[in-house]
Each structure stands twice: as C-alpha cells, then as structure tokens.
Amino acid sequence: MSEKRTEISDIGEFGLIDKINTSTKVRNESTVLGIGDDAALIDLGHSYTAVSTDMLLEGVHFDLSYMPLQHLGYKAVAVNVSDIAAMNAVPTQVTVNIGISNRFSIEAVEVFYQGVHAACENFNVDLVGGDTSSSASGFVISVTAIGAIDKNKIAKRSGAGENDIICVTGDLGGAYLGLQVLEREKQVFLTNPEMQPQLEKYNYIVQRQLKPEARMDIIHELADLSVVPTSMIDISDGLGSELLHLSKASGLGVQIFEDKLPIDKQTYDTGHELGIDATTAALNGGEDYELLFTVSQDDYEKLKLHADIHFIGHMHKESNSSIMQTKGGNTVPVTAQGWNHYKNE
C-alpha cells in the first residue's frame, strides 16, 4: 500500500466523484449512463429508466432545531425527484432508507413519513420500499428515485450545442438566504430562549429552504410544448457550479448576464439586510432546486412568453471561457464557490 495520503479536501467532492468514476467499469449493455449526471440511465428496450439517489445527514444537510420533521420528509423526496426531472424524465417510484437513534419516538417517525407521503402524492410517485437502521450519529436519510423517459426525449448534461440558449426556472438565491435567516434566529434563541423567532417577513425564502419543490411542472409543460432541452441539470449546489458542469460535459463555454438572473424581491431585500449580495447568493448559494437547461435557438419562440422560464445567456465555442457580464458592463469569470462537503474549516 502506498504511504502517500491525499486529503479529500484537496480535490473536493467532485474530484472524489471523478476518482470513483475513473475506477468504475460498466459491464452490462443496459447501463447507458452511469456516474456523472443527475441520474443513471438503464435501457429497457422501448424506453430508459432513470435512477438517482441522495443522502441527507443531520448536522450536515439539515438542523432539526428549525427543520420540522414533516418538511424534512417532503424535502427528502423532492430533492431526489428533482434529479429525475433534470433528465427530462418523469418519476414513478421512490425508496426511503432511514437511520435513527432512540432519541426519536414512533410519533416523530410518523410525522417524518407524513411529509414523505405528501411529496409522493404531489409528485405522483409510489413509495415502494426502503430500510431502517439504528444510528449513533443523528438522523440519516437516503432516498432513491426511479423514473421513466422516452429515448428521444432524454436531456443529459452533455448535449448543449454552440449558441444554445441558457434557461433557468423560478428564482435563485432564496434558499440560501432563507438558511441564513434560520441560522440567525437560532443563535438569537440560544442566547435568549425567551425570544421567539421573527420569521414573518421572510416566509418565502424560509419556505424555499425548508420545503423546496421539484419542478415537475416545467417538465410536463416542456413536453406539452414539444421542447426537448439539449442539456439540463438541477440547481442544488449554486448556479455557478451547475453552469460549469454543463460547460465541462458539453465541451463549450458559457456566457450569462447578471441583469437576466431571476431573483425575488424578498431575496434582494434580505440580502441587503444581512450584507450578502443577492447575485452572489444566486450563483453560489444552492438548494434552489430550480432547473438549468439549454434549448436550441429554434425553440425560443415556444418559450419566450413563459412566465417562469428565464433566458440568462448562451453557450459558445470557447470551452475554457465561462463568464458573466455584470450590470455595470464588466466581465467576470463564473466560478464554482457553492457548497463543498469536504472543505477544510
């Protein structure tokens, strides 16, 4: 065994994934797409099955001091459905695995599953199984989502073409600023337990953090409009990181425009209050679970009047150039400064 030790923080989460992917062999013809996209693809002959899995760990992804268990159950399903949506697929089943300690009661677990069932109903998916285990390190959740997609409608990260239009749904940065508000109110409470959280004026962005929605509505609307994105990804780690994923996978560069980024007024106002630039929150905050995708120029007319799809830039041939034009007319590089699981503190 080599004596050399490389810290995970030296290469980060995505470097670690690349390492795993490099040593992984595909042995079955039915495995169409493995590690490296929002979901794996399995060939069933007439269609593809999309499979995605994700983990949520107490103390890393959520804090039960302000995350209601019912919302947590909903979010656990929604973030996995979002990965299926990001392949332009339709979710059909989920499995939910949990690790819990004896500090949780049966009633608490039932509340968690109320959220799971609410999400299943909302996204029209079936809970078909899972596993339960004891945990010595808090609440551990792992969800696998399964979906279906016609072979000619799949949207991978790698399909963007030169001059394709970059689109994003909804608005950005709200989930991150909602988290900052929750963390602030938690610290106030810890200092003085008599103080009640002041969240009324932050309802929208707090909801964005605690109970995100997978944008299956957009997937169904794109199908109705006969639009198949050339590439797509969901925004879990921040717009900047996801843009670079599309750039790397497609072998193209990115140009976006700051004044085209969709940011809600409550996000702007809260950012100003907390001293956090709203554009920075949109680019680097993460957990918005909106869809980032590209379409050909020919599809612009079909989408131009859609109230919840925003055109923020385009792909270009210079693969090593991913840039944003600021409101002031300057050009700055798009960088990946979102959530990093393995950074050194």
Domain boundaries, the chain: 26-153, 165-333
pLDDT tens by residue, 202-259:
999 999 999 999 999 999 999 999 999 999 999 999 999 999 999 999 999 999 999 9
Q: How confident is the model at residue 195, as a pLDDT?
A: 78
Which residues, including other chains, have CB under 8 Å from residue 270's CB and lie 6 or more apart?
177, 180, 181, 202, 205, 276
Please tell me the pTM assigned to this model: 0.90
CA atoms lying within 13 Å on the CB side of residue 180: 18
Summarised one tens digit per residue, pLDDT across range 155-209 is 999 999 999 999 999 999 999 999 999 999 999 888 888 777 789 999 999 999 9
Determine the pLDDT at residue 342: 42
**d(Cα 30, Cα 27) in Å, to the nearest integer?**
9
For the chain, the maximum distance between any two Cα atoms, rounded to a whole number of angstroms, is 62
Radius of gyration for the alpha carbons in the chain, expressed in angstroms and rounded: 20
Judge contact between 156 and 231, C-beta under 8 A.
yes
The confidence score (pLDDT) of residue 153 equals 96
CA gap 293, 157 in Å, rounded: 9
Task: Give the pLDDT band (50/70/90) at residue 6.
Answer: low
Is it true that domain 26-153 has CATH number 3.30.1330.10?
Answer: yes
pLDDT at 344 over 80: no
Q: What's the chain's length in residues?
A: 345
Query: Structurally, what CATH architecture does the domain formed by 165-333 represent?
Result: Alpha-Beta Complex (3.90)
